[in-house]
Amino acid sequence: MRLLKRWVRNKRGITPVLSSLLLTVIAVAAMALATTATYVITTNLRETMSERLIIEDVWFNNSTGMIQVYMRNTGKVAIHVSGVYVNHTESYFSRPFNLEVYQHQWLNISRSWSAGDVCSIDVVTTRGTHVGGYYKAP
Amino acid sequence: MLAVTTKHLRTNKRGISNVIVVMLSLVLVVIIVSNVVLWSYQMNEIDWERMQEKLSLVDVERTSNSRWFTNQREYVLSGGSQLLGTYNDTQAIDGAYESFVEGSNDSQQLNINGDFALDFASYPIELVRSIEIQAYYRANDSLENWFMKAYNWTNGEYDNACFNSTVGDTPTPKFGYYGVNAINGWQSYVQNGTIRVMLYNERADVNQTSADIDFFGVRLVLNKPRFSFTNEGSMVSHVVSIWITNATSHTRYDADFFVDSGANSVYMELAIDLPVDSFTVRAVTERGNIAVFNKN
């Protein structure tokens, strides 16, 4: 009973405890923040480095009136196409266009052309990878 | 000295705190750098492998052939007799041959008949375009042409009505090839998976003809495109798709076959339908390279 009374009256002991507790919380929060930042930074860098995309075929399809580009994801991460440029002009394409690892499918671009035209096609992903080239319409 | 350092560390709390912060920061930096470096190394390796891949599509043929089917029992002869060897000697071109001689009677002509069992279980009958019959033989009488006929099960007699050539072959004292193809209507020559073929000389004359047969066989010509690849790279190539394109269509076929390093390889695919006119074939590898072949 005497001890309890002394502990309740002794205000000096609480400040160091609170101070240590606060410091511990701040340290843990700082570490968690640093670890998360590390994870985010490394994941982003890794995903950007891992993007690989190829064009298997380009078809100037007269029956659909579209330029069809067959794409394959040969990298190690899923790919999201954010833009398509034909002759350096942004063109409308079938959105959203996503490719999982090893997945492949047609990317349809709405764009007119004439026989014999040479088109520069540039496909850009959300992470900034470019794939494309010059293709001649038959 | 140790006691002094320990005392110094005990009293100077700020120093320890700085060390811990620096150490933790270093750990995080090392994690980031090692992750990036290792991943970069791995992706560089993939790029390097892709650059090293050298797969070529050297030829594309519309048809392919089955293996040779040979006679599995002794030939049935008329107008002559067997001199040397057995039917086993006619199953491969290997220098071993079976010899026959015409009968001594001037009116006799040598007929050599054999039954050839075809394997329609391995080669589906609906894919068969024609039947090729081939002999590698020699005869001592070049005045007598040699011919082939097959037994027509519909008509009940030997004929060559469905053969691409009926002019026969003039033999020489040296071994040579004589072959014909049973094209449209070849089905009438086949019963229960067997074709009966007769090799005979044109007409009898005063010379008693002898013939040596090194090889006598039958094979199926199939409607099955054949793609010939050469891998000149140092790594095995995995072909994952084949494109057949022409002016009107771009068709993609899934593929799954490997071409060893330094090897020539043939890929046959039933599902691929080649256009009649000119076309381009592209084979795409798993690493992302494309081998191209133009057929005009």
Nearest CA among A51, A68, A63 for reference residue A110:
A68
Give dist(CA B293, CA B296) in Å, integer.
10
Kindly state whether residues B69 and B214 are assigned to the same domain: yes
Q: Are B250 and A59 a contacting pair at CB < 8 A?
A: yes
Q: Give the distance from residue B284's alpha carbon to the nearest chain A alpha carbon, in angstroms.
A: 7
Regarding whether A57 and A42 lie in a shared domain, the answer is: no
User: Do residues B77 and B214 share a domain?
Assistant: yes
Number of domains observed in the structure of chain A: 2
- The verdict on A58 and A42 lying in the same domain is no
Please report the pLDDT score of residue B295 as a whole number. Answer: 85
B173 within domain boundaries: yes
Q: Sort out which chain B residues have CB atoms less than 8 A from A68's CB and list them.
A: 250
Which DSSP category does B163 fall into? B
Q: Is A100 found in the same domain as A57?
A: yes
B70, B194: one domain: yes
**pLDDT, one tens digit for every residue, chain B (296 residues):** 667 767 765 666 666 778 888 888 898 889 888 888 998 999 999 999 999 999 999 999 877 788 899 998 999 998 888 888 999 999 999 989 999 988 877 667 889 999 999 988 888 888 888 999 999 999 988 888 899 999 999 989 999 988 998 899 998 889 999 999 998 889 999 999 999 999 998 876 777 888 999 999 999 988 778 899 999 999 999 999 999 998 888 999 999 999 999 999 888 876 787 887 889 999 999 999 999 999 88
Partner residue facing A38 (CB), from B32, B250, B288: B32
Based on the domain organization, do A66 and A100 belong to the same domain?
yes
Domain count, chain B: 3
ipTM: 0.79
Pairwise CB contact (< 8 Å): B31 & A42: yes
Q: Based on the domain organization, do B214 and B283 belong to the same domain?
A: no
- pLDDT given for residue B116 in this prediction: 94
Q: Which of A43, A49, A106 to mutate to test the interface with B (most CBs of B within 10 A)?
A: A49
Query: Residues of A numbered 64-83 whose beta carbons fall under 8 angstroms of chain B's beta carbons: which are they?
Result: 68, 70, 72, 74, 76
Q: Looking at beta carbons, which residues of chain A come within 8 Å of B40? A: 49
Same domain? A130 vs A67: yes
Same domain, A58 and A43: no
Could you tell me if residue B272 is inside a domain?
yes
B157 φ, ψ to 5°?
-155, 165
Q: How many CB pairs under 8 A join A and B?
A: 58
Are residue A44 and residue A70 in the same domain, yes or no? no
Give the pLDDT score at B213: 94
Domain that holds residue B205: 65-222
Based on the fold, state whether residues B196 and B267 are members of the same structural domain: no
pLDDT for position B9: 59
> At residue B130, what are phi and psi to the nearest 5 degrees?
-160, 175
pLDDT tens string for chain A (138 positions)?
676 777 666 666 778 788 888 988 998 898 889 889 888 988 888 899 999 999 999 999 988 889 999 999 999 999 999 999 999 999 999 889 999 999 999 999 998 899 889 999 999 999 999 999 999 998
Please check whether residues B173 and B217 belong to one and the same domain. Answer: yes
Residues from chain B that touch A38, judged by Cβ atoms under 8 A, are: 28, 31-32
Range of the domain at A17: 2-48
> Do A128 and A74 fall into the same domain?
yes
pLDDT at B236 (0 to 100): 95
Q: What is the strand order of the sheet B279-285 is part of?
A: B250-259, B237-245, B279-285, B290-295
Q: Do B285 and B243 share a structural domain?
A: yes
Q: Identify whether residues A68 and A129 lie together within a single domain.
A: yes
In this structure, are B69 and B28 located in the same domain? no
Q: Are residues B204 and B90 in the same domain?
A: yes
Handedness of CA B164, B146, B156, B67 (dihedral sign): negative
Where would I find the beta strands (DSSP E) of A6-117?
Answer: 53-61, 66-73, 79-86, 89-93, 97-99, 104-110
Q: What is the pLDDT of residue A24?
A: 87
Same domain as A82, residue A122: yes
